Amino acid sequence: MILVLLVLLPFLGAVATALVSRGGRDACAVTAGVATAVALGLLGALAPGVVAGEVVQASVGWVPALGLQASFFVDALGLTLAGLILGVGLLVVVYARYYLAAADPPGRFYAFLLLFQGAMLGVALSSNVLLLLVFWELTSLSSFLLIGYWRHLPEARRGARMALTVTGAGGLSLLAGLLLLGHSAGTYELPVLLQRREAIQGSPLYLPALLLILGGCFTKSAQFPFHFWLPQAMAAPTPVSAYLHSATMVKAGIFLLARLWPVLAGTEAWFLIVTTTGLVTMLVGAVSALFEDDLKGLLARSTISQLGLLTMLFGLGTRMGAVVGVFHLVNHALFKAALFMNAGIVDHEAGTRDVKGLGGLGSLMPVAATVAVVASAAMAGVPPLNGFLSKEMMLEEAAHTRLLGQAWLVPVVVTVGATLSVAYALRYVVRVYFGARRGEALASGQGAGAHHDSCAPPEASRGPEAGRGGGAAAPHDPPLGMGAPSVLLGALALVVGLFPETLAGPLVRAASAAVIGGAPPGFTLALWHGFTPALGMSVVALVGGAGVLAVHGGAEKVWRRLGVPDPAGWFEAGLGAAVKGSRKLTLAIHDGSLQRGLALLVGTAVMVGFVGFGGAKHTAGERPPMPVEMLTVLAWVLLVTATGAAVVMHRRRYLPLLFMGVVSMIMALAFIFLSAPDLALTQVSVDVVTILLLLLALNLLPQQSPPETTRRRRVRDAVLALLGGVGMGSAAWAVMTRERKTLADYYWTHAKPEGGGTNVVNVILVDFRGFDTFGEIVVLGTAALAIFALLETANRGEAGRRLAQWKPGRPLSPERYPLILIAVTRLLLPFAIVTALFMFLRGHDHPGGGFVAGLVVAIAVLMQYLASGFDWADRRVRPDHHALIGWGVLVAALTGLGALVFGRPFLTSAFWHPRLPFVGEIALSTAMVFDAGVTLAVVGAVMLALAQLASASKRAKQWAEKRERGEHGGAP
Amino acid sequence: MIAHALTFGFLCLGLAMACNVFRLVRGPTTVDRILAFDTLTVNAITLIILFGIRETSDLYFEAALLLAMVGFVSTVAYCKFLLRSDIVE
């Protein structure tokens, strides 16, 4: 259970941080820090056992109905990544406290950071691969939020979008791959799945699964050709880069490669794809890092290169390769996080991240310079630092690897890669901290506008940090809280290098045993292995790297002239084209013509109906028809007449509204006649509200519909209408003339004993199908909010221009608020409310219910608006309409959830029929509370729609009056 | 006796509603139509009551009550639209 708590802690911390966000940076940082530290403590408690080879497992029910368990396990590999996540996480929390400006909302930052931390922990510790996927997607989402933290910056939004698209697409690929994997293994539990190597590799699904899973891993870990999103993501605040883009998220892909190593690795396909991708990425990243001027961009590209190295190591498929991979994974996290923090400090102090605008900071910022030297040296693989150890072991592994039958290929490529990494590491240190001091440029901020190559976002080095730090003051070492994390990481890089066997040996051994799924090969972590080929390659790399830096200036000119392709730009262009294409396609299918849409809809329905009809038996029904009364015939004639009249007079828009009222009234009478009083009540009240809202809308619309149909279209519509109507009518006839068992009997017998009410309609609405009702009020509320949103912007753009030109189409009566109407409606208000209350209370047993009650209340209030004017009524209607909708949905949802507390299904109602003195038996039911929620939502939705429509015409009228005054004023 | 009275009532109401709809369709003015609509509402209320009496049930009474209480709102709104064009101002 500790394990579950461990994964939950960051999420709880995220909520807590969001709650204290008003407390400022300190409160947020402390909350986030405490959550992280406690989680780290829990992990530390588990660590000794895990390193000794124990595997801790825990699981809780996830979807028990499907047999899904949310299961977690921690072995040494998971422990390693989790340790990095929480350890570096804690340092980043501290660093960010000093890094964020006072204007940056700290609650949002830390909540997102902890959200990401929880997601990453989930990836590291999930035992069920489906659960792992959920967390994997969550890391993509939270990193999107973090990269786009400065949402006012276009490049931040662009970078966030690109990262989300690339890693999200990779996530989909991974989903498919893991499903195939789980299918061929017959299990989704990792500890079991990892034992089934033969089943997986023998399956025909192995290759597709491998390709899809690699798609996920390579996008996440920025492998060629998906590497381009990582430099774009540098628009994120630097703590985010230090955390996500060096230590954790980009390692998720590598982690998964390591995790699935026992079952996927060792085949020719794995070796070829993974090793080659790793090597190419290593070179591409290293070369582009060499010519990148933005400090963070440089580090991002070096990260790509180092990730390529890691991928290559796991791709080798040898046990020693896995050992080195695990070791370098940790080492890279240590020195790269330190370097990112260092770049942030430089940016903060000097006001720019442009290498060309920096120099000679070493004497001004001795501590930062020392950290940079140590961490860069580790990155370059200089003894005695940790990077040297793992790079040496990597070179040793590469030295005897044959790729494509060539013994020289891999050693040469990795030596070139190592040489380049020495060069870019040296460039970082030398150009920023040594050489001529460019103080003037820094102080005046000129450096910030320096030239960039096309790959870097042009504003990257002029990020929001620029100018917030140094300003006119000379750069100096940062405050303790900002400097200490990077110092600590740099120191770790050093001591791991000095005492590797003591500090890292046990963990690396245990973690690589977890990767391999068996005993690791014998090895010792040591600085000196004697004169080996690897040592020679190291020396070549160091000397060569220094040489490359010496000729860097000339090389850069050549590089610029080459015009290197810009995959990020291609991606954006491709995305733009896709958006354009889909818009075109949408417009071709759906051009906004309602007639056309309706014709297609009805046409499809007619076609489907007739196809179904063709395949059925065509016997007539046996049920005898009911006797026809004169009255029903008359009502039918009136109904048809009114409908026909509406069609004939449809151009004069007001008249169809009148006929709609008639049709609706006859429908209500029909409901009565067919013993459906509930429906009649609803019909009557819905009709009134509809007419009011339509009249309100009609005010701003043309009063006549222009003739715009061609003869051909009229014929088409007539045919469709005839077919549709005849089809629908005969279908209804066919159903009604047949005896069949219906659901009604079930409801009749169960309404009272299970729902506690005798009005079956109401019991169905609030109990049996309560979930549907809940969905409907949500839809109703959403529709009202959509009306609000659409009309709120109606005075802008094209609609606004037309609204401004609006004027009443005919002379108006001067009497705005007729006195008799005012008197009557005010008098009627309490009666209407009492009626509504009555309908509401009796609804469970007799016709009525929350929906009708809500409508009656709404009508009672609408009457006041109608009679006494908008301003008068609006002043007296206290509750906010939005809040009403919200409360309605909330009350309904909470009532439904209340049943869960008692272990019953959602929306099960409890009821109680107490007998009160004088009043008699009354029916109490939790369904009534649910019904109250329905009432609130209905009132809110109707009122919101009314208020918005009314205020739109009010605006139009004010403009018209203003225009008139202007004309009159201008005339004399 | 009551059966005959009811039949007579239904006959009258049916005739009245037919007249209403005739006026609604014919017009000639919009005010004629609104008046016809309002009369139709009144007739509908009566029809519901009579129907309740015939079925000897009080279940339908609420519908008549509701129609009586809110039915006039539509008529008022139709009229207000004619007078002021904007029904809520």
3-class secondary structure for A871-939?
A: HHHHHHCCCCHHHHHHHHHHHHHHHHHHHHHCCCCCCCCCEECCEECCCEECCEEHHHHHHHHHHHHHH
Domain count, chain B: 1
Which of A634, A696, A867 lies at the smallest CB-CB distance from B14? Answer: A634
pLDDT of A468 reads 44
Confidence of residue A119 (pLDDT cuts 50, 70, 90): very high
Closest CA of chain A from B21, distance in Å: 7
- Are B62 and A848 inside 8 Å of each other by CB? yes
Query: Is 60 exceeded by the pLDDT of residue A355?
Result: yes
Confidence of residue A447 (pLDDT cuts 50, 70, 90): very low
Whole-angstrom Cα distance, residue A187 to residue B26?
76
Residue B73: inside a domain, yes or no? yes
Confidence of residue A446 (pLDDT cuts 50, 70, 90): very low
Whole-angstrom Cα distance, residue A143 to residue A264?
28
Whole-angstrom Cα distance, residue A908 to residue A21?
38
Query: Is 90 exceeded by the pLDDT of residue A136?
Result: yes
Confidence of residue A919 (pLDDT cuts 50, 70, 90): low
The Cβ of residue A884 has, within 10 Å, a number of other Cβ atoms equal to 23
Which residues make beta-bridge pairs with A58? A72
Query: Is 80 exceeded by the pLDDT of residue A130?
Result: yes
Whole-angstrom Cα distance, residue A367 to residue A896?
60
Which of A680, A821, A867 lies at the smallest CB-CB distance from B63? Answer: A680
Q: Is the dihedral of CA A681, A682, A687, A688 positive or negative?
A: positive
DSSP code at position A363: G
Q: Which residues of B touch A869 (CB under 8 A)?
A: 88-89
Nearest CA in chain B to A655: B30
Q: Which residues of A touch B44 (CB under 8 A)?
A: 665, 668-669
For range A221-237, the mean pLDDT: 87
Most distant pair of Cα atoms in chain B: their distance: 53
Which of B34, B60, B77 lies at the smallest CB-CB distance from A692? Answer: B77
Q: Which residues of B touch A699 (CB under 8 A)?
A: 81, 85-87
Answer whether A604's CB lies under 8 Å from A597's CB: no
Answer whether A584's CB lies under 8 Å from A477's CB: no
Specify the length of chain A in residues: 972
- The secondary structure element, H or E, covering residue A781 is helix A770-792
pLDDT of A164 reads 92
CA distances from B82 to A485, A583, A815, A825, A922 (A): 76, 43, 12, 19, 47
Q: Letter for the amino acid at A111? A: A
Please report, for chain A, the start and end positions of each structural domain, with discontinuous segments joined by +: 2-435+443-519+530-565, 742-970
CB pairs under 8 A between A and B: 151
- Are B87 and A692 inside 8 Å of each other by CB? yes
Residue A554, token pair as written in the block: 């000339």
Closest CA of chain A from B86, distance in Å: 6
Chain A interface test: which of B15, B17, B70 (most A C-beta within 10 Å): B70
**Is the bond preceding A808 in cis, omega lying within 30 degrees of 0?**
no
Query: Is 60 exceeded by the pLDDT of residue A777?
Result: yes
Confidence of residue A193 (pLDDT cuts 50, 70, 90): confident
pLDDT of A968 reads 59
Confidence of residue A896 (pLDDT cuts 50, 70, 90): confident
Query: Is 50 exceeded by the pLDDT of residue A462?
Result: no
Residue B14: inside a domain, yes or no? yes
Whole-angstrom Cα distance, residue A665 to residue B41?
8
- Are A699 and B14 inside 8 Å of each other by CB? no
The Cβ of residue A871 has, within 10 Å, a number of other Cβ atoms equal to 11
- Are A665 and B41 inside 8 Å of each other by CB? yes
Which of A657, A672, A688 lies at the smallest CB-CB distance from B60? Answer: A672
Nearest CA in chain B to A807: B85
Chain A interface test: which of B66, B69, B81 (most A C-beta within 10 Å): B66
Which of B37, B66, B85 lies at the smallest CB-CB distance from A662? Answer: B37
Percent of chain A with pLDDT over 70: 94
- How confident is the prediction for chain A on average, in pLDDT? 84
* Burial call A534-564: b when 16+ CB within 10 Å, e when fewer: bbebbebbbebbeebbeebeebeeebeeeee
- Are A645 and B25 inside 8 Å of each other by CB? yes
Query: Is 50 exceeded by the pLDDT of residue A311?
Result: yes
Q: Letter for the amino acid at A559? A: W
- Are A684 and B73 inside 8 Å of each other by CB? no
Whole-angstrom Cα distance, residue A521 to residue A322?
10
Query: Is 70 exceeded by the pLDDT of residue A65?
Result: yes
Which of A657, A659, A684 lies at the smallest CB-CB distance from B70? Answer: A684
Q: Which of A160, A117, A157 is nearest to A135 (CA)?
A: A117
- Are A869 and B88 inside 8 Å of each other by CB? yes
Query: Is 70 exceeded by the pLDDT of residue A662?
Result: yes
The Cβ of residue A143 has, within 10 Å, a number of other Cβ atoms equal to 30
Domain residues for B34?
2-84
- The secondary structure element, H or E, covering residue A62 is strand A56-63
Which of A662, A810, A832 lies at the smallest CB-CB distance from B24? Answer: A662
- Are A673 and B70 inside 8 Å of each other by CB? no
Q: Which of A907, A631, A913 is nearest to A773 (CA)?
A: A907
Whole-angstrom Cα distance, residue A303 to residue A442?
27
Which of A699, A810, A828 lies at the smallest CB-CB distance from B86? Answer: A699
H helix and E strand count, chain A: 41, 6
- Are B65 and A870 inside 8 Å of each other by CB? no
Higher confidence at residue A730 or residue B89?
A: A730
Quick check: B87 contacting A, CB < 8 Å?
yes
pLDDT of A405 reads 73
pLDDT of A439 reads 52
pLDDT of A642 reads 92
pLDDT of A451 reads 35
Answer whether A419's CB lies under 8 Å from A541's CB: yes
Closest CA of chain A from B76, distance in Å: 8
Specify the length of chain B in residues: 89
Which of A645, A684, A815 lies at the smallest CB-CB distance from B66? Answer: A684
Q: Which residues of A touch B66 (CB under 8 A)?
A: 681, 684-685, 835, 852, 856
DSSP code at position A529: -
pLDDT of A465 reads 44
Answer whether A59's CB lies under 8 Å from A119's CB: no
Higher confidence at residue A90 or residue A56?
A: A90
CATH of the domain at B65: 1.10.287
Nearest CA in chain A to B37: A662
Which residues make beta-bridge pairs with A704? A652
Which of A630, A684, A812 lies at the smallest CB-CB distance from B83? Answer: A812
Whether the complex's predicted ipTM is more than 0.90 is answered with: yes
pLDDT of A702 reads 81
Query: Is 70 exceeded by the pLDDT of residue A107?
Result: yes
CA distances from A548 to A413, A431, A436, A552 (A): 16, 14, 20, 6
- Are A810 and B85 inside 8 Å of each other by CB? yes
pLDDT of A144 reads 92
Task: Find the Cα–Cα–Cα–Cα dihedral A694, A698, A699, A705, rounded to 10°.
Answer: -170
Answer whether A625's CB lies under 8 Å from A737's CB: yes
Higher confidence at residue A102 or residue A258?
A: A258
Q: Is the dihedral of CA A102, A108, A112, A115 positive or negative?
A: positive
Higher confidence at residue A447 or residue A264?
A: A264
Residue B89: inside a domain, yes or no? no
For range A784-809, the mean pLDDT: 80
Query: Is 50 exceeded by the pLDDT of residue A297?
Result: yes
Per-residue pLDDT of chain B (89 residues; tens, 9 = 90+): 888 999 999 999 999 999 999 999 987 888 999 999 999 999 999 999 999 998 888 888 888 988 998 888 999 999 988 888 888 87
Q: Vertex A431, ends A429 and A437: CA angle to 5°? A: 115
Q: Is the dihedral of CA A760, A764, A766, A767 positive or negative?
A: positive
Whole-angstrom Cα distance, residue A684 to residue A663?
11
**Is the bond preceding B28 in cis, omega lying within 30 degrees of 0?**
yes
- Are B59 and A631 inside 8 Å of each other by CB? no
Closest CA of chain B from A900, distance in Å: 36
Q: Which residues of B touch A661 (CB under 8 A)?
A: 37, 74, 78
Within 13 Å and on the Cβ side, how many CA atoms surround A77? 30
Residue B45: inside a domain, yes or no? yes
Quick check: B69 contacting A, CB < 8 Å?
yes
For range A481-503, the mean pLDDT: 86
- Are A655 and B41 inside 8 Å of each other by CB? no
Percent of chain A with pLDDT over 90: 22
Closest CA of chain B from A596, distance in Å: 30
Answer whether A829's CB lies under 8 Å from B69's CB: no
Q: Which residues of B touch A642 (CB under 8 A)?
A: 21, 24-25
pLDDT of A113 reads 92
Answer whether A106's CB lies under 8 Å from A24's CB: yes
Q: Between A926-970 and A770-792, two packed helices, what is the crossing angle to 10 degrees?
A: 10
Query: Is 80 exceeded by the pLDDT of residue A654?
Result: yes
Quick check: B7 contacting A, CB < 8 Å?
no
Q: Which of A728, A754, A935 is nearest to A848 (CA)?
A: A935
Residue written as token pair 């403590």: A41
H-type helices in A352-438, by residue range?
366-380, 386-399, 409-433
Nearest CA in chain A to B27: A655
Q: Vertex A908, ends A904 and A911: CA angle to 5°? A: 115
pLDDT of A444 reads 45
